[in-house]
Chains A and B, each alone.
Chain A
Amino acid sequence: MSDAQSPTDFDPVEPNTGEDFEPVDVFPDSNDFDLRPGADSCFKCSVCDTNCPVAEVDDDFPGPKFQGPEQWRLKQTDDDYEIDDSVMSCSNCMRCDNACPSGVPLSQMHNTARGEYVENQMSKTDLEYWRNRILSNYRLSASIASKVPRLATWGMNFGPARWLMEKTMGVTKERDFPDFATQTFREWWAERGGADASRRNAQQRREELGLDRNADKKVAYFHGCYSNYNTVDVAKAMVRVYEHYGYEVVAPEQKCSGTPMFANGMLEDARRHAEVNVSSMSDLVDQGYDAIASCTSCSMALRQEYPELFDIDGIEKVSSNTFEAVEYLRIHEDVKEDVQEAQVSGELAEEFAYHAPCHARNQGLERQSVELFRDLEGAGIEDVGESCSGISGTYGWKEEKYEKSMEIGEEMFDHMEHAEGEVGMTECPTCAMQMEHGTGYEIRHPLELLEAAIVE
């Protein structure tokens, strides 16, 4: 091997999709799935394959190099080539993206291929199709369930019903459905006085901090489905922490980020939701707001997947103004110094076993919680390693994938059990589910610890 086999010219900022590359507008008006320019810069080093957690446990999964560049080549030379059904086994963890030294936009290729597969090759009368569709439209089920939270929490985990769901729908009965909050975040937010209350809080706080009362500090919160319906404490913590730094928060109209839909090839569903999100976020970005998400898959979707897959007005603007909640504070505030001076006691004075979600890793955020909290008095944090949790959103909910999902997660469970603490921490709600499922630990979000540390 020599160094001479260097890949072609490559701009580190743009994936290697060639000069004339336009985002593939997958639905509804374009059937052009051609990603050949990206495929051409693959020099077959297979480094992407070493990063794929599914290929590690599933012998039938040919890996990202095949799903992406190789499949696109086959498609290019053979008009009748059909997308291989293995693409449905890719969990969309996007780890392969991070690996490729040649900038091949792998996860974009997989998402598009999956979209085409579902659109053209999957029977719409198949149970699998409907199972995937229901799983990926979590928001819909959650919004219904949240009307009757206690009943829903009980009903969804009622043994005989779960047995039936597995038998008829292929939803594993091994897992517990998450609890639904008795009050959603949006209900709490409205009751608290919405954006007006937040502005008043922020102004008051700015005065306390000696800042200009009318300073331009404002963010639009993309809370996503999960912190609205399930982990409402995370969303509340986000609001309180931001107001503590003098930010006004708004919670604009929003739908699902689309992450579970990308992973299931439901690109039409994803696009409908994306249009709503982009439209409400881009108006706010125009008014000087930045978009903030507390779920790393949501920020990933807005930042990377939307502009890769859809051509919606304002999308680039939203993408480049979207941040993960803690990341944004690290850039704009002295949050590190504040944490160093703080201390926590009570419920959150714990040793945390921290797992970085794949989608945090992809945004370069895999270390920020560990680095932020390692000097915090009263609490401890330990990184449990780089393995994938294995649940990958809907992947681990499928009956046929359950075992593999647990096999992928094994290393993480192991590291958690060896870590000092017995409370887990992560930014991703489904990783949290898997961590809890594999170890029985309670799982918290970094924003909750941050709130405990710096907000009185």
Chain B
Amino acid sequence: MAINSDVLVIGGGLAGLTSALKAAREGADVRLVSYKQSSLRHASGLVDLLGYTPDGEGPVTDPYAAMGDLHDAHPYKTVGVETVREAMGLFDDVTDYRGDHTDTNALVPTHGGTVKPTARYPTGAAAGLASDDRDVLLVGLESMVDFDAPHAAAHLEAAGVPFDVRGETIRFPGDLQADAKITRYAKLLDTNGEVAVRGRKKGARDALAERVNTVREKEARVGFPAILGDDHTDAVRAALEEKIGADVFEVPMGPPSLPGLRLEDRLFEALDESGASFETGNPVVDFDADGDTIETVYIEKNGAKIPNSADQYVLATGGLVGKGIESDRESVHEPIFDCHIEHGEDRYEWFDGDAFGDHPFASFGVETDETLRPLTASDSVEFENLRAAGSVLGGYDFAAEKSGSGVSIATGYVAGENAAAEAR
């Protein structure tokens, strides 16, 4: 006896969530199991399709058009451009992200003061786009050293944005500790919790708006680091907009990332609505196979191994950060099924001498057939009922191309669709 489903997805990042969602929508009985929280909590919360070509050219204006020129081993080539569009359709359907009105990349200012080409952005970032020509005030917080507003403003000016931008640093009302957690700010704003300002109690939203009003000149848009609420972020933004009298946006931040966290929550909610099951907190560590068919995988819980069985499996365990791929001095490997990963014999071939060079390790990952089944060294299918999706795949370098979320969504979609079709 074991816990059974039609499709079992291993990994709860963008790729795993998308494949589980797609498979469930195709009518399969789906179960997703994931170890830790995904790399979305480290990511900006922006969804990039393709920002730069593999040769480093860009920013790319139309990512779909640029996909045609990718090399054949690239996951976008495997699944096809039309499928990438369909997959983004599913993403748009379950989130309230913006950017779906056009094929063109949007340009979003980042906390470092660069402008990033991205395909989809959270509603909260919408008023900040660099293609808009209204003037911008960036507001930094004394206690949040990760976002230096005057510095970011100067960078944006230097990047040639078509508007004036100024940065001011203020104290978050209530004088929080220098190392206050981002969730502390978010909670205070979510609940409009009381803070003490010169001995008087005030709602956090009101007090923050008042402080901004003392430094705002005539800018039509005000950008904050991404801390504006967690559960009620739209309400927080609306309240600030009303009290400041300007559009308010969030600038995506480095880890830990509230927008990434909110996206993760939203996708799990959608998965729940689709009727799928999920479980997080414990890793898959082992499996049983009959020939080239996987029969059961085992989840490890403090020494006990819990069997989970399915017809079809999707491997979406992430790359080096998600622990879907591991490396030691001798080799690079995929730890659950030991799927083949092509890499040079000599570990000195894994990276480039130049720190910012073209590192082979960045594209390490499993290679697949066109239905995303991992292949062995001799190009035969590893297991007939296993598919792979997301950053466990090889053939692309998401950090250089700015294609991370797009590849995860597109390949997750295809893996989920194929798995559901095969599961009977």
Complex-state Cα separation, A322 to B301, whole angstroms: 10
Q: Give min CB distance, A383 to chain B, whole Å.
A: 7
The answer to whether A50 and B261 touch across the interface, beta carbons within 8 angstroms, is: yes
Q: Give min CB distance, B350 to chain A, whole Å.
A: 12
Complex-state Cα separation, A428 to B287, whole angstroms: 32
Q: Are A59 and B184 also in contact (CB < 8 A) when A1-B255, A6-B321, A9-B326 are?
A: yes
Q: Would you give the 0/1 interface string for A327-363, flagging 1 where the beta carbon is closer than 8 Å to chain B? A: 1001111100000000000000000000000000111
Q: How many residues of A contact B (CB 8 A)?
A: 58
Q: Give min CB distance, A446 to chain B, whole Å.
A: 16
Task: Report A53-73 residues with CB < 8 Å from chain B CB.
Answer: 55-57, 59-60, 62-63, 66
Q: Are A52 and B321 also in contact (CB < 8 A) when A59-B176, A330-B3 are?
A: no
| B1 on the A face (CB < 8 A) | yes
Q: Cβ of A327: which chain B residues have Cβ within 8 Å of it?
A: 306
| B221 on the A face (CB < 8 A) | no
| B123 on the A face (CB < 8 A) | no
Q: Give min CB distance, B90 to chain A, whole Å.
A: 22
Complex-state Cα separation, A323 to B176, whole angstroms: 42
Q: Would you give the 0/1 interface string for A400-431, flagging 1 where the beta carbon is closer than 8 Å to chain B? A: 00000001001100000000000000000000
| B56 on the A face (CB < 8 A) | no
| A366 on the B face (CB < 8 A) | yes
Count class of interface residues, chain B: 35 or more
| A13 on the B face (CB < 8 A) | yes
Which of the candidate stretches B32-40, B65-73, B372-380, B411-419 sits at the interface with the other chain? B32-40
| A100 on the B face (CB < 8 A) | yes
Q: Are A12 and B321 also in contact (CB < 8 A) when A49-B181, A332-B1 are?
A: no
The answer to whether B36 and A6 touch across the interface, beta carbons within 8 angstroms, is: no
Complex-state Cα separation, A299 to B299, whole angstroms: 17
Q: Cβ of A330: which chain B residues have Cβ within 8 Å of it?
A: 3
Q: Cβ of A214: which chain B residues have Cβ within 8 Å of it?
A: none
What residue of chain A has the Cβ atom nearest to residue B2's Cβ? Answer: A331
| B237 on the A face (CB < 8 A) | no
Contact of B281 among A4, A46, A98 (CB under 8 A): A98
Q: Give min CB distance, A58 to chain B, whole Å.
A: 8
The answer to whether A316 and B320 touch across the interface, beta carbons within 8 angstroms, is: no
Q: Cβ of B304: which chain A residues have Cβ within 8 Å of it?
A: 303, 320-323
Q: Are A362 and B281 also in contact (CB < 8 A) when A319-B303, A320-B302 are?
A: yes
Which of the candidate stretches B20-28, B95-103, B154-162, B271-279 sits at the interface with the other chain? B271-279
Q: Cβ of A165: which chain B residues have Cβ within 8 Å of it?
A: none
| B241 on the A face (CB < 8 A) | no
Complex-state Cα separation, A303 to B254, whole angstroms: 35
Q: Cβ of A320: which chain B residues have Cβ within 8 Å of it?
A: 302-304
Q: Are A47 and B302 also in contact (CB < 8 A) when A9-B326, A13-B285 are?
A: no
Complex-state Cα separation, A332 to B3, whole angstroms: 8
Q: Cβ of A99: which chain B residues have Cβ within 8 Å of it?
A: 36-37, 41
Complex-state Cα separation, A383 to B277, whole angstroms: 13
Q: Give min CB distance, A315 to chain B, whole Å.
A: 10
Complex-state Cα separation, A277 to B422, whole angstroms: 48
Q: Are A45 and B42 also in contact (CB < 8 A) when A3-B362, A320-B303, A386-B265 are?
A: yes
| B399 on the A face (CB < 8 A) | yes
What residue of chain A has the Cβ atom nearest to residue B255's Cβ? Answer: A45
Q: Cβ of A303: which chain B residues have Cβ within 8 Å of it?
A: 301-304
| B191 on the A face (CB < 8 A) | yes
The answer to whether B323 and A12 touch across the interface, beta carbons within 8 angstroms, is: yes
Q: Are A366 and B280 also in contact (CB < 8 A) when A47-B37, A333-B1 are?
A: yes
Q: Give min CB distance, B313 to chain A, whole Å.
A: 17
Q: Cβ of A49: which chain B residues have Cβ within 8 Å of it?
A: 181-183, 256
Q: Cβ of B391: which chain A residues have Cβ within 8 Å of it?
A: 3
Q: Give min CB distance, A217 to chain B, whole Å.
A: 12
What residue of chain A has the Cβ atom nearest to residue B400's Cβ? Answer: A2
| A22 on the B face (CB < 8 A) | no
Complex-state Cα separation, A270 to B401, whole angstroms: 53
Q: Cβ of A321: which chain B residues have Cβ within 8 Å of it?
A: 304
Q: Would you give the 0/1 interface string for B168-207, flagging 1 where the beta carbon is closer than 8 Å to chain A? A: 0000001011011111101100010100000000000000
The answer to whether A304 and B35 touch across the interface, beta carbons within 8 angstroms, is: no
Q: Are A319 and B302 also in contact (CB < 8 A) when A3-B319, A55-B184, A59-B176 are?
A: yes
The answer to whether B256 and A47 touch across the interface, beta carbons within 8 angstroms, is: yes
Q: Cβ of B398: which chain A residues have Cβ within 8 Å of it?
A: 3
Complex-state Cα separation, A157 to B288, whole angstroms: 56
The answer to whether B187 and A47 touch across the interface, beta carbons within 8 angstroms, is: no
Q: Give min CB distance, A193 to chain B, whole Å.
A: 29
The answer to whether B184 and A10 touch across the interface, beta carbons within 8 angstroms, is: no
Given contact pairs A322-B304, A407-B191, A410-B191, enumerate 11 new A-B contacts (beta carbons under 8 Å): A2-B399, A3-B321, A12-B283, A49-B181, A63-B181, A101-B39, A307-B302, A319-B302, A322-B302, A327-B306, A361-B281
A residues touching B (Cβ–Cβ < 8 Å)?
Answer: 1-4, 6-7, 9-10, 12-13, 45-47, 49-52, 55-57, 59-60, 62-63, 66, 98-101, 303-304, 307, 316, 319-323, 327, 330-334, 361-368, 371, 383, 386, 407, 410-411
- Can you list 29 A-B pairs with a CB-CB distance of less than 8 A? A1-B255, A2-B399, A3-B321, A3-B391, A4-B399, A9-B327, A9-B328, A12-B35, A12-B300, A13-B285, A45-B256, A49-B183, A50-B181, A50-B182, A55-B181, A60-B177, A98-B36, A98-B281, A99-B41, A101-B36, A303-B302, A320-B303, A322-B304, A323-B304, A332-B1, A366-B281, A367-B277, A367-B278, A411-B231
B residues touching A (Cβ–Cβ < 8 Å)?
Answer: 1-3, 33, 35-37, 39, 41-42, 174, 176-177, 179-184, 186-187, 191, 193, 231, 254-256, 258, 261, 265, 272, 277-283, 285, 299-304, 306-307, 319-323, 326-328, 335, 359, 362, 391, 398-399
User: Ordered nearest first, which 9 A-B pairs have the shortest CB separation?
Assistant: A320-B303, A12-B283, A364-B281, A303-B302, A6-B320, A55-B181, A50-B256, A2-B399, A56-B187
